[in-house]
Structure 1
């Protein structure tokens, strides 16, 4: 009787702890951070009223135009709204970035821990930590998990690009986001005659993630963890990417040379 060796295992309680931890992060981020921006219209109105109160001593009815005074107060409220709206967008993006990076680290931690159960050496774990998103997808696909055909993979890829653009601004990720996921670069002048004719005119300063998109990213991470195969055995492995195979072979060669 042939023994089938399990190379990667996702233990049920561990899987649930990953999902629970993620959902806790999302829930608390909404509760402690994002809900603070739910009433920015009312806060902008208050800022306008506060401007009037703070500057009422400067108003001279014999010399000043009341209309201009109220217009200045309105402009103060508009500027307050703009700044607070920008802060809300940046906070949303920072929450998305934290969520994505935590998922990314947990995935690499799990892969490394499972590899260390049947392999000795530092090169393979090091390469897993250095691998980019596409490299990791190649590894998972080689293990028999065809994730590239799933909806959650496309969302995770979009989330990766959004986070890279948020962190680095202009660059390859911005170009890729424009090409593959332009919905995260909404035209601020959409619906007006000032709307840009092409997405080429938009850049990292236009990056935004709506509440619906944020939830979609969160759901994608949950779907990913739910879909991790419980057991990946030797017969499931169709192939492994060259970078991983070379790392494994180098570790084995170093181990053999040390004997």
Structure 2
């Protein structure tokens, strides 16, 4: 049997590592999207100015091309950032599932409820549990499998604020809420 204190320490380290890696290291790489787009614009103009021929080249066309060079870079990077944030939620939910299995031998709610109730921890009244097991679970399932089925219905019904143009759109504060709930859940669940 694994020492519960070791499990608690490992879970805390996993959450810290997850937060550090996803929000500090990886998400921060998207902070310079606008500056990169402007740089793309400048490089495009510099390249065009070296080969500019007033008899052949249309200045209006060049201005249009440079505009789309900047905008396309920005849009592609924004889309990648959104994909990253959404994938981060899926990754976090999988981490939660693995932690439950390691700590309790199961991730099944029907097994966890009576197990935790022995320590006076009522899952149904815990806001952290609801956020993780309802919202995050639903979000992760829709990101992985699409809007068809129960998860898509539940997301539309209960968490429509996370949908924009029929897509799941999470932001950094959503991921931070999920991480905070994960910490809160484990603090309560491993208290005894």
Please report the TM-score for the alignment, with normalisation by the length of structure 2: 0.85
Task: Pick the structure with greater CA Rg.
Answer: 1
Structure 2 residue aligned with 1:182: 160
Question: 1:55 and 1:212 mapped to 2: Cα distance?
Answer: 41
Question: 1:169 and 1:47 mapped to 2: Cα distance?
Answer: 34
Cα pair 2:38 2:70 within 8 Å, conserved: yes
Equivalences, count: 185
Q: Does 1:166 align with 2:143?
A: yes
Question: 2:148 and 2:170 mapped to 1: Cα distance?
Answer: 19
- Runs of 5+ consecutive residues of structure 2 not aligned to the other structure: none
Q: Deviations over 1:160-185 (max 9, x none)?
A: 11111221223222221111111211
Q: Does 1:62 align with 2:34?
A: no
Greater relative CO, 1 or 2 (CA 8 Å, sep 6+): 1
Task: Give the superposition deviation at 1:210.
Answer: 0.7
- Runs of 5+ consecutive residues of structure 1 not aligned to the other structure: 1-8, 113-127, 130-135, 187-201, 232-259
SS at match of 1:170: coil
- Worse-superposed segment, 20-29 or 82-91: 20-29
Question: 1:18 and 1:229 mapped to 2: Cα distance?
Answer: 10
Question: 1:180 and 1:11 mapped to 2: Cα distance?
Answer: 35
Please report the TM-score for the alignment, with normalisation by the length of structure 1: 0.65
User: 4+ runs of 1 displaced by more than 3 Å?
Assistant: 54-59
Q: Deviations over 1:109-135 (max 9, x none)?
A: 2222xxxxxxxxxxxxxxx46xxxxxx
RMSD: 2.2
> Which of 226, 231, 234 is residue 187 of structure 2 equivalent to?
226
Describe how 1:2-151 pairs up with structure 2 within 5 A.
11-56=4-49, 59-112=52-105, 128=106, 136-143=108-115, 144=117, 145-151=121-127
Question: 2:141 and 2:3 mapped to 1: Cα distance?
Answer: 29
Decide which structure has greater helix share: 2
Question: 2:173 and 2:21 mapped to 1: Cα distance?
Answer: 17
Question: 1:109 and 1:74 mapped to 2: Cα distance?
Answer: 52
